[in-house]
Structure 1
């Protein structure tokens, strides 16, 4: 399927399929230990219990084990931790990890929508949360898994807030590391600013700050060489419609593993929002966090937003 063919999929049909899947016995995270690998599952969780951490996350009594000594900090993209990590959080907890999440960078909409504040503000909140997790668990380092803005903003903390020694593995999913054109929507930003004097949109909106070539995008400095002890893994989809071009999510360096999902599985049509729940991407994350016990990635059909078809 080409990108244009994927784009012709009816969003209404996808939502209908997702709601039907959620209604079937044994597919919802609440009904079984394993979550539904679908973006719709996160939306349903937010509607059912707004503002609650994803399943298994934020057990502050969790003690890291010798097998998994680093607690995992999950950092959402534009949205919140409930929606973003409804799938990956219970998967990691079931695998024996201590998992922690936070909705950072909230604005006028409160915890419904995070990652909207300026990059520096979000980065400081993320840095403070990492310090809290380290203090509560007694761990020297954490592993980071970030989606979209959550995969890019921590580079500010690496460069400017002294976070590099506190991180072991850094996994970035569909992150606009080098800025994003948002499938061309970024071209409208100058128009919005010119028609709203004094609004200073780019200075107040974190995602707006990451237009390619912007001062903040350059200042983010997504260079793995600044932290040679960290192992970076990037995971991207050629069908991404938000972090565009999709190559913006790739890094370059000897301490980097770049993963293009379609190189692993040609029938994976995941786009930006489904990616953190994509079973192919989830296995890549598990392998990145524990490379000594990596398992082969199983290929399956993955639909935009809806995930694998119900079997």
Structure 2
């Protein structure tokens, strides 16, 4: 009888200890993962201010100012030159934040310099996610109006030697996660499907104007969830 009571007492003690352990684990606060810094690349005839609304949205969702880098460059220059400057900018952001990789979020022509950086300048080692928003990934004939004025615009014209080289082989190199968000009524892209990337998550977002794509909140939510 005494031995039986001892067995019951031991079983109760073991059960009590298990309950205490479970409670202590459930009470431990969850540690949120630190997000990658986001580097934004604007397009033709634009500047860093084109990202103001999305920067504010990212901040509202927990990002700090140091994790959001919208920078400006000379959009008339070759996309190759911009890609070289982007490489320097990414390394600056990594050094400033202590992060190991960034996420690239690009609009329109910004996709070309960013993709050149990934393909030709070793960018895949420093980028986790790449997001193209209304990216001119395979060119547009709309660029005819400025192709004789600006090197960047000539490179953006459908069938340019720059685009032929950029899109040869693997369009989504490395272990980077790629996404392309495109509109089915984009007045700047001819055809709209020029924005699609082979090997990427391609998302049609409906009828949104080209210049509204990178300040639309519905598109923002999808981009935020992708880079998360």
TM-score interval w.r.t. the shorter chain? 0.7 to 0.9
Alignment of 1:114-263 (within 5 A): 115-182=75-142, 186=144, 193=148, 201=149, 204-221=150-167, 223-227=170-174, 229-253=175-199, 256-262=200-206
Runs in 1 of length 4+ with deviation above 3 angstroms? 222-225
Gaps of 5+ in 2: 1-30
SS at match of 1:143: strand
Q: Confirm or deny: 8 A CA contact 2:42 2:107 kept in the other structure.
A: yes
Query: RMSD between aligned alpha carbons?
Result: 1.9
1:217 & 1:224 partners in 2: Cα distance?
A: 11
TM-score, normalised via structure 2 length: 0.79
The aligned length equals 193
1:93 & 1:231 partners in 2: Cα distance?
A: 23
1:209 & 1:288 partners in 2: Cα distance?
A: 29
1:224 & 1:103 partners in 2: Cα distance?
A: 25
1:86 & 1:270 partners in 2: Cα distance?
A: 18
Aligned to 1:71: 37
For 1:100, which of 64, 69, 72 is the aligned residue?
A: 69
Q: Confirm or deny: 8 A CA contact 1:224 1:232 kept in the other structure.
A: no
Q: Confirm or deny: 8 A CA contact 2:79 2:112 kept in the other structure.
A: no
SS at match of 2:100: coil
Greater share of helix: 2
TM-score, normalised via structure 1 length: 0.59
**1:225 to partner: Cα distance:** 4.3
Gaps of 5+ in 1: 1-64, 107-114, 194-200, 263-268, 291-311
**1:66 to partner: Cα distance:** 4.9
SS at match of 1:276: coil
1:208 & 1:281 partners in 2: Cα distance?
A: 28
2:172 & 2:81 partners in 1: Cα distance?
A: 24
